[in-house]
Amino acid sequence: MYRRILVPFDGGETSQQGLREAIQLATELQAELRILVVVDTSELHMGFASADGLLSTVALMRQRSQELAAAACTQAHEAGARADFVVRDIGADQVADLVLAEADEYQAELIVMGTHGRRGLSRAALGSEAESVSRRSKVPLLLVRTPQGKPSVLAPDVPTRLQTSG
């Protein structure tokens, strides 16, 4: 059925739920899992007095993103799933663009993403990477909803910003 599953991951509760679902699917289907962590440095250029400060912050963000991705990969391995990870810088792209590009490059047959399931003004105000992926994806997309009342907050000190709110 599905042999290659892509999971965008930012360490928040919403993406943790997506990761858990993807791990379960990968294990049951004996599929490969690719965990994608996006480093968003697009807003960093403001507020830095020196290029050295900026470069050191970007390096720290990348290091922590690697650690986050490695921990998610370990979680998958411990559950018996075959998994690897990639960390990508967002640059000028949108998160959805990177997810879709990675799905193409990895030849994913399924994308699993956590979503808040927001509607109305809250969705319009916050945007929805999951919605953008769902509208443009060439492969099936499984959206895993966060239970009502559970906030999705990045893990402490994790400077990535892969918003999978929907």
The predicted structure's pLDDT at residue 59: 87
At residue 90, the pLDDT reads 83
Q: What is the CATH classification number for the domain harbouring 43?
A: 3.40.50.620
List the end-to-end C-alpha distance of the chain, in Å, as a whole number: 26
> CB of 133 within 8 A of CB of 141?
yes
Interval 48-84: pLDDT, tens: 556 777 778 888 889 999 999 999 999 999 999 999 9
Q: What is the pLDDT of residue 9?
A: 94
pLDDT, residue 159, reads 38
Residue 84 domain-assigned? yes
Tell me, yes or no, whether 52 lies in a domain: yes
Q: Please name the residues in contact with 13: beta carbons below 8 A apart, sequence gap of 6 or more.
A: 114, 146, 150, 151, 152, 153
Please tell me the predicted confidence (pLDDT) of residue 157: 38
**Cβ-contact 104, 153 below 8 angstroms:** no
pLDDT given at position 138: 94
81-85, 89-93, 112-116: least confident range: 89-93
From the centroid of its chain, how far is CA 102? 11
- Residue 78's pLDDT is 97
pLDDT band at 98 (very low <50, low <70, confident <90, very high): very high
Which one is predicted more confidently, 81 or 12? 81
Q: What is the pLDDT of residue 72?
A: 97
What's the total number of domains in the chain?
A: 1
Q: 137 lies in a domain?
A: yes
Spell out the SS3 assignment of the chain: CCCEEEEECCCCHHHHHHHHHHHHHHHHHCCEEEEEEEECCCCCCCCCCCHHHHHHHHHHHHHHHHHHHHHHHHHHHHCCCEEEEEEEECCCCCHHHHHHHHHHHHCCCEEEEEECCCCHHHHHHHCCHHHHHHHHCCCCEEEEECCCCCCCCCCCCCCCCCCCCC
User: Does residue 158 fall inside a structural domain?
Assistant: no
Q: What is the mean pLDDT of residues 20-36?
A: 97
Answer yes or no: is 166 within a domain: no
Kindly report the pTM of this predicted structure. 0.79
pLDDT in tens, 114-165: 886 555 443 333 347 888 899 999 999 999 987 654 444 333 333 333 333 3
Residue 111 lies in a domain: yes
Domain residues for the domain of 110 are: 4-145
Please tell me the distance from the alpha carbon of residue 73 to that of residue 56, in angstroms, as a whole number. 26
**Can you tell me the mean pLDDT for 85-102?**
89
